[in-house]
Structures are given as structure tokens and as C-alpha cells.
Amino acid sequence: MLKKIFALLLLVFLQSSWAFAHDIFGFPRHRGVEPLVDKKYESSCGECHFAYQPGLLPSRSWAKMMRPEQLEDHFGENAELAEKERLYILKFLTENGADKTWHYKRSVKINQSIPENVTPLRITETPYIKKKHMEIPRRMIQDNKKVRGLSYCNKCHTEAVSKGQFSRTNVDIPNFRNWDDLID
């Protein structure tokens, strides 16, 4: 009986110290990006597109994107915000950028793939995301009317919005249910 209790205690200790070690040494512990939700971010940006989690781009990218003149020409669209809202969202995005975490694997990978002197504005142009989608043929994404482009993450990544998960197992490409058999 005593042995059992001891073993149980040891197990609990090992498990907690394992998690602790992860925190201390900064190993990424989660597979996706942090699934941050913010009401103002949702209403200001999510009205037009999937509210990309801040962990998908480094803070310097968000800072550039949120400049007034950038918002005026936001990939060809006008996305201007009232100054109060702009500053709020700028803060939310830059405080939670991909370079600010060690615990979310995708953020770390995205951030590490970008050269220091580059400030990408498009998530789809970061080397890691590019590499990850390289093998997917055009007919499944760009020429697929139900997807239309890499920027529509949530069309295929079914858990992108709710959980910030982008693993292969959660991918469902519209019109190509069997995509996994078609790509090596």
C-alpha cells in the first residue's frame, strides 16, 4: 500500500517537473499557435476575414501592418480604423506576436524562418508557411473555388479558428476530401 502511494507521488512529481522543465527551458509545448480571442479584434478585423491569431506573424510585422497608411491600403482594400481602435489592436497584436512565445510550436517555427532584416506583411510569404504548402497543387488551393488562396486558412484548417491548430490531421480541403492520398 505504502509502495503504491509512493509510486503515485513519484509519478505526480515527475509529471509536474516535466511540465516545469518545459517552461524553464522554453521548449514549445503546444502544437499550434495561441488561440487568442479578443472581441475588439474580432469586430475590427474579423468582420472581413478570419481573425488571424497574433502568433502567426512576428510583432514587427503587425506593427508595420497597423500603421495608418498601411491600413488605408490593406492589400488593396481600405481597412482604416478609428485611432482608439487602431492603437488597441496594435497593442494586442504586437504583445502577442510570434516572437513573443516559446510555447507554441507554429509561432516559433514561423518566427525562426524569417530573416531578421525582413518584415513580411503576408503570413503566406513567411518561409515556413511557404515551405509547408509547397507541395499542394494549385487545383486544390488557388484554382479551387471553395478555397481560392492560401490566405483563407480556415477553409481547410478546420480547427484554425477555434483552437489555433494547424496540424495535418485537422486538414479538410473542400472538393478534395482525399487530399492525403493525392499528395505524398
Partner 1 sequence: MYKMMLFAVMLLGTSAVQAGDGTVIDEVLAGYQAEGVGSFSAEHGKEMWIAKHEGPLGLDGNPSGEAFKIRRDDEPRSRSCQTCHGTDLSLPGKHWRTGKLINPMSPKAKPVEVDEDDGPRFSDKAKIEKWFLRNCKWTVGRECTGQEKGDLLSFLRNQ
Q: Helices in the chain by DSSP H: which ranges?
A: 2-25, 39-44, 59-65, 68-72, 83-95, 105-113, 127-133, 160-163, 179-182
Binding segment (CB under 8 A) for partner 1, from list 23-31, 37-45, 89-97, 113-121:
37-45
**Is residue 97 within 8 Å of 56, Cβ to Cβ?**
no
117 touches partner 1 by CB under 8 A: no
Binding segment (CB under 8 A) for partner 1, from list 39-47, 94-102, 124-132, 170-178:
39-47
CB of 78 to partner 1, least distance (A): 4
73 touches partner 1 by CB under 8 A: yes
Question: Which are the contacts of 165, defined by CB distance < 8 A and separation ≥ 6?
Answer: 31, 32, 35, 157, 159
Question: Which are the contacts of 80, defined by CB distance < 8 A and separation ≥ 6?
Answer: 68, 71, 72
31 touches partner 1 by CB under 8 A: no
110 touches partner 1 by CB under 8 A: no
- Please select the residue that binds partner 1; options are 31, 91, 133, 148, rule is CB under 8 A: 148
Binding segment (CB under 8 A) for partner 1, from list 8-16, 29-37, 75-83, 119-127:
75-83
114: cell is: 524569417
Q: Which residues bind partner 1 (CB under 8 A)?
A: 39, 42-43, 48-49, 72-73, 76-82, 148, 152
